[in-house]
Amino acid sequence: MVEEVLRCLRPIAGQVAIDCTLGGGGHAQAILEHLQPGGRLIGFDSDPLELPRTEARLRAAGFGADVFVTRHGNFARLPELLAAEGLAAADVIVADLGVSSMQVDDPARGFSYLPGPLDMRMNPSEGEPAWQLLDRLDEEALAALLTENADEPHAGLIAGLLKQKPIKTTHALERFVRLGLNKALPNLEKAEVKMSVRRTFQAIRITVNNEFSALDALLRSLPQCLAPGGRAAILTFHSGEDRRVKKAFQAGARAGVYADVASAVIRSTKEETFSNRRAAAAKLRWAVRAI
Ligand SMILES: C[S@@+](CC[C@H](N)C(=O)[O-])C[C@H]1O[C@@H](n2cnc3c(N)ncnc32)[C@H](O)[C@@H]1O
């Protein structure tokens, strides 16, 4: 949704932009092209492994250290990250939540069904891997996590399956949930089982990476991190995230800290959804800081 993000952010020459979730640098590159001459972009990401690769890619695309830098950091601490760059606020802030395709496609990271360790940490040197979380939490806590993070209708049943024996790999998690649901609910459609498996992965990943608390912290600090008239855009991928963004933007508009906010969610075009399955779930919202 690069075009849609640009329409929300309206970046212009000379501005300072922050990409809170640099990932592969697709949004950053498009924004950078509008900031020249005179502007710059700082790209943050909690993943220290992909950051140097993205930096190299954007350097090769012609963006020198005077206009583009990357920093390892969690957007939950955005005010501190800005202060470390000598900035009080930015003109443009974007966050594209969730995981990148590079992370999903690397079996060693444990985000997808590709055979690998059940890790799922965006920052592998922080927190506990997913297999340890499953080991530590009891059935009740797992059921709550599946409901709260992914609205999973079979949360109780899946939580029971997850505690039957230790699950250490992505392959085992996928198989355990799929076969367990097939056995316990033989009338469940294949597509529904598939959705439950996908929601189980999503719910576990959200807890492993404290995704909701990071988003809540970002939404709290966003008004102070935006310069007067500055614009923010946030792309979310499931209802738990979108609800938070919508509520925070509407509350900010009522309180007068935002001059304007998206009245409705912006979705990807049919063409993009066709070529990029992830875009089908994407919801984009924007806000403009009051002057
Ligand atoms: C969907 S990808 C971003 C893709 C990017 N917009 C692009 O154009 O390639 C999300 C990225 O956000 C990072 N991320 C997720 N939560 C984060 C957080 N709390 N702080 C910093 N980065 C985070 C992930 O590591 C991942 O690289």
CB of 200 closer than 6 angstroms to any ligand 1 atom = no
pLDDT digits (tens, 9 = 90+) for 216-270: 999 999 999 999 999 999 999 988 999 999 999 999 999 999 999 999 999 987 7
Q: Are 139 and 159 in contact (CB under 8 A)?
A: yes
- Could you tell me which residues come within 8 angstroms of residue 270 by beta carbon, excluding any fewer than 6 positions away? none
Average of per-residue pLDDT values in the chain: 96
CATH label, 124-208, candidates 1.20.120, 2.60.120, 1.10.150, 1.10.357 = 1.10.150
The answer, yes or no, to whether any atom of ligand 1 lies below 6 A from the CB of 47, is yes
Is the pLDDT score of 288 beyond 90? Answer: yes
Q: How many residues does the chain have?
A: 291
**CA-to-CA dists, residue 225 to 96, 181, 220, 252, angstroms:** 17, 46, 10, 13
Sheet harboring 16-19: ordered strands across?
68-72, 40-45, 16-19, 90-96, 226-236, 283-289, 258-261
Q: Kindly give the distance from the C-alpha atom of residue 116 to the centroid of ligand 1, in angstroms, as a whole number.
A: 21
Identity at 248, one-letter amino acid code: A
Model confidence pLDDT, tens digit, residues 204-219:
999 999 999 999 999 9
Is any atom of ligand 1 closer than 6 Å to the C-beta of 29? no
Q: Residue 271: what pLDDT?
A: 78
| Closest listed residue to residue 164, CA positions, set 187, 148, 151, 180 | 180
**Residue 146 predicted with pLDDT over 90:** yes
How many percent of the chain have pLDDT more than 70? 99
pLDDT digits (tens, 9 = 90+) for 51-80: 999 999 999 999 999 999 999 999 999 999
Contacts by residues 80-89 (CB-CB < 8 Å, ≥ 24 positions apart)? 81/44, 82/18, 82/225, 85/42, 87/16, 87/42, 89/224, 89/225, 89/226, 89/227, 89/230
Residue 111, ligand 1, Cβ within 6 A: no
Ligand 1 atom closest to 29 (CA): 8
Domain with CATH 3.40.50.150 in the chain: 2-102+211-289
Q: What is the DSSP string of 122-173?
A: SSTTSS--HHHHHHHS-HHHHHHHHHHHH--TTHHHHHHHHTTS---BHHHH
Q: Is 237 in the pocket of ligand 1 (CB under 6 A)?
A: no
Ligand 1 pocket, 199 CB below 6 A?
A: no
Of 63, 56, 60, whose CA–CA distance to 36 is shortest? Answer: 63
Start-end of CATH 1.10.150 domains in the chain? 124-208
Residue 277: pLDDT over 90: no
Q: Which ligand 1 atom is nearest residue 45's CA? A: 22
Q: Of 1, 100, 101, 202, which is best to mutate to test ligand 1, by the most ligand atoms within 8 angstroms of its C-beta?
A: 100
pLDDT band, very low/low/confident/very high, at 273 (cuts 50, 70, 90): confident
Which pLDDT belongs to residue 276?
Answer: 74
1-46 tens-digit pLDDT: 999 999 999 999 999 999 999 999 999 999 999 999 999 999 999 9
> Superfamily assignment of 2-102+211-289 in CATH?
Vaccinia Virus protein VP39 (3.40.50.150)
